[in-house]
Amino acid sequence: PPPAPRVAPPVEPSRPVAAPTVMRGEAAPAPDVAIASAREAARTAPTLEALRELMQSFEGCALKHTATRLVFADGNPKARIMLVGEAPGRDEDIEGLPFVGRSGKLLDLMIGAIGLNRTTAYIANVIPWRPPGNRTPTPQETQICLPFIQRQIELVNPDVLVTLGNPSTQTLLSTREGIMRTRGRWFDYDTGQRTIRALPTFHPAYLLRSPSYKRLAWQDLRAVAKVLAGT
């Protein structure tokens, strides 16, 4: 088979190393300042707990001020597989954990079908704060939050990265293709330290609306299981 396309995390224009600090209580800064601040903060986080604390105090994304709480992650940070969705919904905003509503129940069934659960997988979102009314995050909001999920992936350092749905796939794998064309195709996600195999598949929320695509999602999950098994 042809080699998987090699992609790197989206690269922003170079900025000064000393990014402006966004302090608690200040008004949200201009987008370019917020992106630079997020990038610098994420880069300096040595652990997942340190990253969580930095995100808790980060004031550069307006979504933080409309959300109830930060939704950082769930699962095992030493897992060999990491799954990344788009953003928290109402249930996630209440509980502070990703994928706990109807989509989460389906995701648990999906990974359970290949012998995984939340003690053997790690789950997060590109956007860690719920957008008001579950609206789609803006490109600006996504770019501000992007350095955080990139650092989260680096720190978890999984063997397999599964992007759930179109927004997560396009953001992390630097592609403009839709999920119908990317699902089931292996990509290389480059952290700068290591290349991680990445596979897009459907978001559980989409499968709840369009259950006929569960068959294709099952094919994707079996491909993930084969890689994890080393076959």
| Chunked mean pLDDT (size 10), the chain, 231 residues | 48 35 53 94 97 97 97 98 98 97 97 98 99 96 98 98 98 97 98 96 98 98 97 60
Q: Whole-angstrom Cα distance, residue 19 to residue 163?
A: 29
CATH number at 148 reads: 3.40.470.10
> Is 4 a domain residue?
no
Answer yes or no: is 6 within a domain.
no
- The confidence score (pLDDT) of residue 31 equals 84
Q: How many domains does the chain have?
A: 1
Domain-embedded: residue 7: no
Residue 16, in any domain of the structure: no
How do strand 6-7 and strand 81-85 relate by DSSP bridges? Answer: unpaired
Could you tell me the residue range of the domain that residue 38 belongs to? 29-229
What predicted TM-score, i.e. pTM, was given to this entire model? 0.87
- Residue 222 located in a structural domain: yes
Distances (CA, A) of 65 to 25, 62, 85: 10, 6, 21
Residue 191 lies in a domain: yes
Q: Per the domain annotation, does 15 fall within a domain?
A: no
> What is the DSSP track for 155-186?
HH--SEEEEESHHHHHHHHT--S-HHHHTT--
Say if strands 81-85 and 160-164 run parallel, antiparallel, or are unpaired.
parallel
Query: Phi/psi of residue 62, each to 5°?
Result: -65, -25
pLDDT recorded at residue 29: 67
The predicted structure's pLDDT at residue 119 = 98
In a domain, 179, yes or no: yes
Separation CA 107–CA 99 (nearest Å): 7
Element (H, E) at 195: strand 195-201
Residue written as tokens 């119908």?
180
